[in-house]
């Protein structure tokens, strides 16, 4: 492991190299926080295509979140079945919507964009199906808040780079990475790590020889 000062420098260099290789990601198709929250719950344990199919089918059957909240949970499960874990996700989505209505009196989360991020995380991770990654995705994508979500790809890459301990959980990686990411660069680094993880830094047989940040990587050095 490296010291914090060295880590800051390395992360800054990693951001720069990835932006040179992949470009600076642009924010597109921004949707409201509640929709992003449900979309992220649907994304758990599946791929983007199946998630999007499940979300589209849900919204076609139930145009409003009120209808989802009061609908038959079995019919909701049928609508989102392409996303996998349909019964579990249907129950959790209804529970989340009911909690939001009881807690805030309305089915919208636009106010999250003005809340302290740590407070938002503490408050929403009490819900089943809403972990640190899920709520940080909502804050970053819908609100433009400068937080750095840690999904499977990001977690793997951070450990391989040696920015966090190899045995660090995704949640510990989230908290350790927040102060290391240069201000205003969370979205760029997150999106470029996703691209890196999907095209080069695979879980098995990563293509280290063509990686734009191989010189910053402990895993590459140790191979």
Dig out the tokens for 95 from the structure: 């529970």
One domain for residues 37 and 139: yes
pLDDT number for residue 5: 83
Number of domains into which the chain is organized: 2
**pLDDT tens digit sequence for 18-62:** 999 999 999 988 999 999 999 999 999 999 999 999 999 999 999
The pTM for the full model equals 0.93
One domain for residues 117 and 177: no
One domain for residues 165 and 200: yes
HSE of 197, CA atoms in CB hemisphere, 13 A? 19
Select from 143, 178, 196 the last residue of a domain. 143
Select from 123, 143, 163 the last residue of a domain. 143
Mean pLDDT within 119-132: 95
Q: Measure the CA dihedral 30/35/37/40, to 10°.
A: -80
One domain for residues 104 and 46: yes
Question: pLDDT at residue 133 above 90?
Answer: yes
pLDDT band at 115 (very low <50, low <70, confident <90, very high): very high
Dig out the tokens for 178 from the structure: 């927040």
From CA 194, how far away is CA 213, in angstroms rounded? 14
pLDDT band at 223 (very low <50, low <70, confident <90, very high): confident
Burial of 114 (0-12, 13-18, 19+ CB in 10 A): exposed
Q: What is the CATH number of the domain that holds 50?
A: 1.10.340.30
**pLDDT tens digit sequence for 11-21:** 999 999 999 99
Mean pLDDT within 127-146: 97
One domain for residues 78 and 124: yes
Percent pLDDT > 70 in the chain is: 98
What residue numbers bound the domain in which 132 lies?
33-143
From CA 25, how far away is CA 90, in angstroms rounded? 32
HSE of 178, CA atoms in CB hemisphere, 13 A? 15
Question: pLDDT at residue 66 above 70?
Answer: yes
**Closest alpha carbon to 171 in 190, 186, 150, 189:** 150
From CA 20, how far away is CA 17, in angstroms rounded? 5
From CA 214, how far away is CA 69, in angstroms rounded? 47
**Closest alpha carbon to 107 in 69, 63, 54, 139:** 69
Average model confidence (pLDDT) across the chain: 96
Question: pLDDT at residue 3 above 90?
Answer: no
């Amino acid at each position: 492991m490296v010291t914090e000062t060295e880590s800051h420098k390395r992360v800054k260099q990693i951001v720069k190299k990835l932006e040179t290789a992949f470009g600076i990601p642009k924010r597109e198709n921004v949707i409201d926080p509640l929709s992003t929250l449900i979309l992220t719950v649907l994304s758990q344990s599946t791929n983007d295509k199946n998630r999007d199919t499940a979300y589209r089918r849900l919204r076609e059957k139930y145009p409003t979140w009120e209808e989802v909240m009061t609908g038959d949970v079995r019919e909701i499960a049928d609508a989102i079945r392409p996303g996998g874990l349909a019964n579990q996700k249907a129950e959790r989505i209804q529970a989340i919507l009911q909690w939001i209505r009881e807690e805030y009196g309305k089915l919208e989360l636009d106010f999250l964009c003005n809340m302290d991020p740590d407070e938002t995380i503490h408050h929403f991770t009490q819900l089943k199906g809403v972990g640190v990654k899920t709520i940080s995705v909502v804050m970053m994508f819908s609100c433009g808040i400068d937080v750095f979500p840690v999904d499977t790809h990001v977690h793997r890459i951070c450990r391989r780079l040696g920015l966090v301990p190899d045995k660090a959980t995704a949640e510990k990686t989230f908290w350790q990475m927040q102060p290391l990411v240069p201000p205003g660069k969370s979205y760029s680094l997150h999106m470029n790590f996703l691209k890196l993880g999907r095209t080069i830094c695979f879980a098995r047989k990563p293509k280290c020889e063509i990686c734009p940040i191989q010189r910053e990587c402990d895993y590459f050095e140790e191979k």
